Structure 1
Amino acid sequence: MSDAGNDPGSAAHGAAHGAVTGAASGPGTAGPSEPGPAAEPERWSGVERALLRMRRVVLLSTLLPLAAVTAGVLWPTAGPVWAAFALLPCAFAAWGWGALERNWRSWRYSERADDLLITRGVLWRELTVVPYGRMQLVEVTSGPLERRYGLARVQLHTAAATTDAEIPGLVPDEAERLRDRLTELGGARSAGL
């Protein structure tokens, strides 16, 4: 991965983005009127940079051929002024290049004692809290393009389909470790242990 300030899993990145949950985390944060034990700070993990590379390849392999075809069709029939519209896919590719990086940085997850937190999004930030006891199925999937980049995704299925969640861009070993841990914790919580 990249340097500590840019790595979504680093402490510097977590501090730069602040508390996502709105819940206090740290020593002495049990509440203004309730003394309590010091809470451990949440440890956030980010997804692999290979996810960003994969998505950028998809972006360029879609928009640049579109620009070439548009220029090839418009130049002979409408002239060079209309062929300038072929630059629109190039402009979208340039904008998407930066947007994909911001989106990649936003994907983080944290394993807590009773639940799993997943956060993502740039303009519309989304925080998903999945209690371990509510998980019914945890699976690891990896499509052909993800395998090419050495990635896998963890998919979490709960009783309500609207609360399903996923974590993309993990190396297969980490995805399998997370699957095994979540399955173990889910079984223990649902059994009431």
Structure 2
Amino acid sequence: MTSPAPEPRPGAGADAGAPASPAASSSDPFQPADVTWARVSPRLIPVRWILVAFWVGLPALVCAVLAVLLTVWLWIPAGVLAAALLWAVLLIPRQVRAIGYAERDDDLLIRKGILFRQLVVVPYGRMQFVDVSAGPLARRFGIATVQLHTAAASTDAEIPGLAPGEAERLRDRLTAHGEARLAGL
């Protein structure tokens, strides 16, 4: 006895009963099959903590001092900023663990985000140049950022928090892949 063919979903096309392709069989578009993700350095966590402390913690401290000197009402923004600082301190390690990249034969995948996830696929042949940068704080913690520039500015992608040796290796490898793809055009 044969089982009946599955009924197509409402609104599905004519190929709704066709078997799914291997790429489409994954239920998570942010986790492609057969991809091994490389993570960024955990040294990115204290760098981001310092930046958040400067941009959120310092204004919270200023509001608290002004609340003591001037008016009690300034405790409200100080409290809100302190709560935002605490939230960021708890969230940053998870955000850094969510950043990953994977090199494939024809493209580079970059993923990031927890609640709002993002997966960027950069074909090697579309890259114009690869930039490695590190500010004073990043250099102090021994990390760098690799930024990929493509023809369309909206598709530029970056990988923060790489060890300098890995950033250099990735820059050289991506540049070689890009030149090889351009030579084939």
After TM superposition, the score normalised by the length of structure 2 is: 0.78
Conservation of the 8 A alpha-carbon contact between 2:30 and 2:111? no
Partners of 1:22 and 1:68 in 2: CA distance: 41
Deviations 1:48-98 (A, max 9, x none): 11111100011123333322221221223324xx35322222111111112
Deviations 1:128-173 (A, max 9, x none): 0001111110121111111111111111111111111111100110
Residue 65 (structure 1) aligned with residue 49 (structure 2) = no
Partners of 1:61 and 1:134 in 2: CA distance: 37
Partners of 2:31 and 2:65 in 1: CA distance: 52
Conservation of the 8 A alpha-carbon contact between 2:63 and 2:75? no
133-142 or 169-178, which deviates more:
133-142
1:99 to 77, 91, 95: 91
Partners of 1:77 and 1:174 in 2: CA distance: 51
Query: Which consecutive residues of structure 2, in runs of 5 or more, have no partner in the other structure?
Result: 1-26
Partners of 2:69 and 2:173 in 1: CA distance: 60
Q: Percent of counterpart pairs with the same letter?
A: 47
Partners of 2:174 and 2:125 in 1: CA distance: 10
With over 3 angstroms needed to count, the CA separation of the structure-2 counterparts of 1:107 and 1:20, relative to structure 1, is: farther
Residue 47 (structure 1) aligned with residue 40 (structure 2) = yes
Q: Secondary structure at the match of 1:124?
A: coil
What residue is the counterpart of 1:84 in the other structure?
75
Deviation at 1:183, TM superposition (A): 0.7
Deviation at 1:120, TM superposition (A): 0.7
Matches for 1:1-193 after TM superposition, within 5 Å: 20-21=29-30, 23=32, 25=33, 41-79=34-72, 82-85=73-76, 86-192=78-184
Q: Secondary structure at the match of 1:154?
A: strand
- Specify the structure having the higher radius of gyration (Cα): 2
Over the aligned positions, Cα root-mean-square deviation in angstroms equals 1.9
Deviation at 1:109, TM superposition (A): 0.2
Counting matched residue pairs gives: 158
The one-letter code sitting in structure 1 at the alignment partner of 2:172 is D
